[in-house]
Amino acid sequence: MRDLKVNLEARSYNILIGDHPLKTIGVECKKFLKRNEVWLISDENVLNEYKTELNSCFKKSNIKLNLYELPAGEHAKSFTFLEKLTDWLIDTGIERGDLVIAFGGGVVGDLVGFATAVTLRGVNFIQVPTTLLAQVDSSVGGKTGINSKFGKNLIGCFYQPKHVLVYTDVLKTLSKRDLRSGYSEIIKYGILGDINFFNWLEKNGQKVLSLDNVSLEEAIFRSCIIKADIVSLDERESGSRALLNLGHTFAHALEAAVGYNDRLLHGEAVSIGIMLAAEVSNRMGFCNIDVLERIRKHFNNTGLKTCISEVDFSFPSSDELVNLMFKDKKVANGLINFVMLKSIGEAFITNSVDMSVVKDTIDYSR
């Protein structure tokens, strides 16, 4: 069991990581309760798996469980479900000092975080992420929100959880594809800020993906430490937090082109996006060719895609993909802020990237 702290003064919280059984959830939550009642929100797929267990855990801890079931999928991150959820919280008598539990993947965490931020001007919530991607990324750092008709995550706010509980045991029910998708965010941390972690992943990545407990816990712990350190320095992304977007400007354009569906999972888009960022860094003269070859090799060894051509979809032209990149939140003064690489473990942010190099790199990857 590992424990680490996200240092944010009065908003600081801990992340508990381990293969401890889910039945400890009642005891863990009790520490945050003013009265013996919780509001747990999840989606239909996750609840099919865990509803009975959750009911019995909270019953044993003598905690009344109010349960809300969302539909599975990205469309839950909408005004419709934000309204349903806030109505339900108010209708069931929640008070500011009560506790909401976001139990699920990134969609559940983002929506529930936002709903709790705006209900009664802020109700406490904790994150219990059930996908690898959510365990190493979206559950940590307080980004919450829903999608707008103009794009993904355009409505939201920073609202930190009171605690993050990572149960690695729940990953056993994930598909290999979902695990790999989460793993690409783990590799991202090594590439953007920790060469020793990247070296470790080269040796232990397969063990992480085969859910070897020790390796998995270590990989999640080290990822969360890197993210927690970055978030502690720049909670609201006015500067260095943008490093966490390595590969994401490319990835979001690819996902938007596909239509945010299962043809291209987020982590799959991220591995291609990181590769494109590395290629552009090399073509711009920021890093040498060994950097991108080493990254490509590790993605290949762990079954992650590195080229746009590997996705079974007919993508629009590089001009149109670049137009999609300009719709991202990371555009400032008409320029895209790119995360580029000097070496593995050393990323930096710049808006001085030649867009013709970006287009050529996209064309080369197709």
What is the Cα–Cα distance from 347 to 247, expressed in whole angstroms?
11
Nearer to ligand GLY, 298 or 330 (CB): 330
Q: Smaller CB distance to ligand GLY: residue 143 or 305? A: 143
User: How far apart are CB 230 and ligand GLY at their closest, in Å?
Assistant: 8
Q: Which parts of 101-160 interact with ligand GLY (CB under 6 A)?
A: 137, 141, 143
Choose which of 152, 180, 188, 241 interacts with ligand GLY (CB under 6 A): 241
CB neighbours of residue 30 within 10 Å: 15
Q: Is 298 in the site for ligand GLY (CB under 6 A)?
A: no
Closer residue to ligand GLY (CB): 152 or 241: 241
Exposure b/e, 87-110, CB count within 10 A at least 16 = b: ebbeeeebeeebbbbbbbbbbbbb
Are 284 and 353 contacting, i.e. CB atoms less than 8 angstroms apart? yes
Beta strands in 1-63 (DSSP E): 2-6, 13-18, 37-43
Separation of alpha carbons 193 and 345, rounded Å: 4
> Cα–Cα distance between 350 and 202 in angstroms, integer?
28
Under rule CB under 6 A, residue 225 binds ligand GLY: no
DSSP string computed for 54-82: HHHHHHHTT-EEEEEEEPSSGGGSSHHHH
Q: Does 273 bind ligand GLY (CB under 6 A)?
A: no
Pick 141 or 156: Cβ nearer ligand GLY: 141
Report which residue's Cβ sits closest to ligand GLY.
244
244 binds ligand GLY (CB under 6 A): yes
Minimum CB distance to ligand GLY, residue 243 (Å)? 9
- Of the pair 270, 280, the CB lying nearest ligand GLY is at 270
Residue 47 or 164: which CB sits closer to ligand GLY? 164
Query: Which residues are at the interface with ligand GLY (CB under 6 A)?
Result: 137, 141, 143, 241, 244
